[in-house]
Structure formats: C-alpha cells, structure tokens
Amino acid sequence: MAEQGTNGNGAAAAQKPDGQNPIRAKIVNQYIKDLSFENPNVHKLIASAGDQPSVKVEVNVGAHKINEELYETSIEFKATASNNIGTIYVLETVYAGLLNIESMPEGALEPFLLISGPAMIFPFLRRLVADVTREGGFPPLLLDPIDFGALYVSRQQQRSQGSGRANA
C-alpha cells in the first residue's frame, strides 16, 4: 500500500513501498477553453419574472496526453435555467487543467485523469460558474460538490453494457 502526502508545493505525492520513484502530480496551469453565457429572454424577464426557475445541469469530463509527463484534464459543464416564460439563461463552459504527472503506472492514469484531475480543478470551475451567473444579472449558481469517482464508475458501466450489446 502506498503512503500519500504532499511534497511541499501542493502537489500530490505517493511513495511506492518497493522503493521505486514516487508518483507526483501537480497542476501546471488552469484555463477556460470555452465559455458561453446566453440570456435569450431578458426583455420578457424584465416585464415579468415568471415562475420559480428550474436549473438543469450537465457535467462531463475528459482528458488527453500532451506529452510524456503533461496531461490535460477538463470538465465540460452546462447549466440551463428555465421557467414558464422560457429559457432564462444557458451557461456552457469547458474548464481545463494541465497536470504534470510523473511515475504513474499506466493502469492508474485514466482513473487519475478522470477522477482526481477534475476534483483538483472543480473549485475553480465552481467559482467561475457563480461569477458568470452573477455577472449575467442572476443569483450566483452555487454548485454542490461532484463525486467524480461515481461519474467515472457510471461511465465504465455504460461502456461495458454498450460493448456487451454490440457483441450480443
């Protein structure tokens, strides 16, 4: 079993018990890859606010290799608020982080990039979403924490069921 801790610069580090190089992962950079905020019915909403809005949220994660030790992990986020008047706002963004990962076993890389990577950048996405909705003239949309582990497991199950159906 590996011991985990930090290496003093905020990066995650785990020492392998067999004396191999420790696994190191740190955020090199974070950025907005895409951002869109639409307020299509502002004139109708000024005249009458309408019913209490409902908000539909969609989240997806992705990752890919940049070079030998640099990987990009990203969170695709979409929120649509609507009520009886129509669409109040649509917020779509892709928020990403560049991760420097050293000495990680190949089998652990995908789960790390799709679970731990998004968890590391999520607080910054949460802040961005709150700021953009507030600046759009609405109460800030405060996101609850997301269980990226459960999202990953769900996707793996969907993948295995999809391949099972294709083979049947």
CA 111, CA 148: separation in Å to the nearest integer?
10
Q: What is the per-residue pLDDT across 103-116, written as a single tens digit (0 to 9) for each?
A: 888 889 999 999 99
With bands split at pLDDT 50, 70 and 90, how would you rate the model's confidence at 7? Answer: very low
Which structure tokens are listed for 28? Answer: 């090199």
pLDDT value, residue 55: 96
Task: Please give the mean pLDDT across all residues of the chain.
Answer: 86
With bands split at pLDDT 50, 70 and 90, how would you rate the model's confidence at 45? Answer: confident
User: Mean per-residue pLDDT for 119-135?
Assistant: 97
Yes or no: say if 71 and 157 are a contact pair by the CB < 8 Å rule.
Answer: no
Helix, strand or coil, per DSSP, at residue 30: strand
User: Mean per-residue pLDDT for 59-69?
Assistant: 94
Q: What is the per-residue pLDDT across 138-166, written as a single tens digit (0 to 9) for each?
A: 999 999 999 999 999 998 998 888 765 44
Yes or no: say if 91 and 108 are a contact pair by the CB < 8 Å rule.
Answer: no
What pTM did the predictor assign? 0.80
Instruction: Catalogue all structural domains in the chain, each as residue range(s) with its CATH number.
Output: 25-142 (3.10.420.10)
Yes or no: say if 1 and 15 are a contact pair by the CB < 8 Å rule.
Answer: no
Helix axes 148-167, 117-135, angle to 10 degrees: 110
Q: From the CB of residue 142, how many other CB atoms can be counted at a distance below 10 Å?
A: 10
Yes or no: say if 128 and 92 are a contact pair by the CB < 8 Å rule.
Answer: no
